Amino acid sequence: MFKHLLFIVLISFALLNFNCKKTLTGPDSPFVLTVEDVSCTEAWVKITSTNFQNPSSLTLFVNDKPNQTLALVSSDTLLYIDSLLPNQSYKIKAAFVTNNQPQTTNEVIATTMDTTTHNFTWQTFTFGEGSSSTLYDVAIIDENNIWAVGEIYMNDSLGNPDPNFYNLVKWDGAEWKPERIYFKNSKGQFFLAPMKSIFAFNTNDVWIGLDQIIHWDGTTYSSIELSNVIFQSWINKIWGNNCNDLYVVGNGGNIANYNGSSWIKIESRTTTDLTDVYGDGDNVFICGYKDFKPTVLLKYNNGVITKVIEEDHFEYKTDFISGWIKSIWVKKDKLFSLTFYDLYRSKISTKGEGTAIWKGDINSWGSNAVRGNDVNDIFTTGYNGLLWHFNGVGWKKYDELGETTNHYRCISVTDKLIVIAGFKYLNGIDRYGLISIGKR
């Protein structure tokens, strides 16, 4: 009992004398603070101990005011500070007592991110003539070079439906131009197929997924055959670190990787349809879902697949990724997982735990895709004209796009541009390709 009273008295003494000249700091302190990450309203600060004794207790100060008191249980502890203001600098340090002597750590400066603007001007385009047109994916190369893939049905010169659809449309800054790109197999046969996915590194390095691969090198479209041993599905999504480390995912748990010279199959250990793939250089995340099959979240690292989540019973939680996982995005050691109703933020090292930073409502169901530029500039899109933007502090829904006949499947963003694509019903029967471009 006496030891506990003594500890409380010493901590109180340390707090009362936080700026006293007798307080030890700098190299004499067994604790070192470093700023690990920031958002618009949050900071993550790491405390490292050079002489850790368990338990250790300290009080964290933000701008010389007590913020939180905590007990450390390891030599490396990541502290979370919230309720900060955007675009502000905060002084952070900690006070503690060791050997009956009040001490402080080094002081660090955490500067929060500024918010991004919600303001966009919009253009919306439809494609096709009274049939079953749709666009599946889109890629921004630059503001005057945007590609969208799918199947666009037009009439022929006599006004009759043309069975030969267009599978690519390109934006040149002024108008969209449709193209038919044929796949040529190893026997010299040509096939016209819907294009399902696209990923562009630059204007001379564009990868397009059908049930095979087409590559654009700036001059020529090259057809690349994937054997059934390697990949047996339509390619739902493409992502890569570079042209020597490319990933494709599809139905039935199909995953393949291109290493710059050859394609290899990655065993997913699932038969669930895979809908998205994204990574951070070291870790590649893959998600998917299917009726009557588990939703999955996979992580691929150094040749090893890990099942982060495999759930067929959806118990809604705000602190665990729950529901059909439709899309994923990675930034700054953060994984963002989009379900039908929610967007969860997790650490890259997550075992499934996450925080729901956006929750849909009865009018916002059916999310399909998430992408962003940074943690203060995130977009989600989906059915019924759904488009939301997170600017680092709050969310905005773009009601001007919110017609219930508008259904967006995919999204591509830059710091000045957002493009979403999908399909639109004009009379309840005919389906048209749909693209909306937003400019800051």
Q: Answer whether 256's CB lies under 8 Å from 247's CB.
A: yes
The band of 366, judged by pLDDT with boundaries at 50, 70 and 90, is confident
Q: Are residues 260 and 160 in the same domain?
A: yes
Query: Looking at the structure, do residues 166 and 60 belong to the same domain, yes or no?
Result: no
Give the total number of structural domains in the chain.
2
Higher pLDDT, 136 or 26: 136
**What is the per-residue pLDDT across 137-157, written as a single tens digit (0 to 9) for each?**
999 999 999 999 999 999 888
pLDDT above 70 covers a percentage of the chain that reads 90
Q: What angle do CA 311, 313, 317 make, to 5 degrees?
A: 85
Mean pLDDT of the chain: 89
Same domain, 92 and 224: no
DSSP 114: P
| CA 24 to chain centroid | 44
Residue 116 forms part of a structural domain? no
Per the listing, tokens 């890990």 go with 306
* Closest by Cα among 168, 205, 162, 200 to 183: 168
Q: How far apart are CA 272 and CA 9, in angstroms?
A: 59
Q: Which domain holds residue 71?
A: 2-111
Tell me: do 105 and 125 sit in the same domain: no
- Together in a domain, 431 and 299: yes
Identify the CATH number of the domain in which residue 62 sits. Answer: 2.60.40.10
| Residue 67 sits in the same domain as residue 131 | no
Do residues 392 and 315 both lie within one domain?
yes
Listed range (30-44, 259-273, 356-370, 421-435) with the worst mean pLDDT: 356-370
User: Would you state the pLDDT for residue 281?
Assistant: 84
Is there a single domain that holds both residue 316 and residue 243? yes
Encode pLDDT of 57-70 as tens digits.
Answer: 889 999 999 999 98
Same domain assignment for residues 370 and 409: yes
- Give the model's confidence band at 75: pLDDT under 50 very low, under 70 low, under 90 confident, else very high: confident
- Min mean pLDDT across 7-11, 80-84, 289-293 is at 7-11
Q: Looking at the domain assignment, is residue 73 inside a domain?
A: yes
Query: Structure tokens of 364?
Result: 């916002």
What per-residue confidence (pLDDT) applies to 361?
58
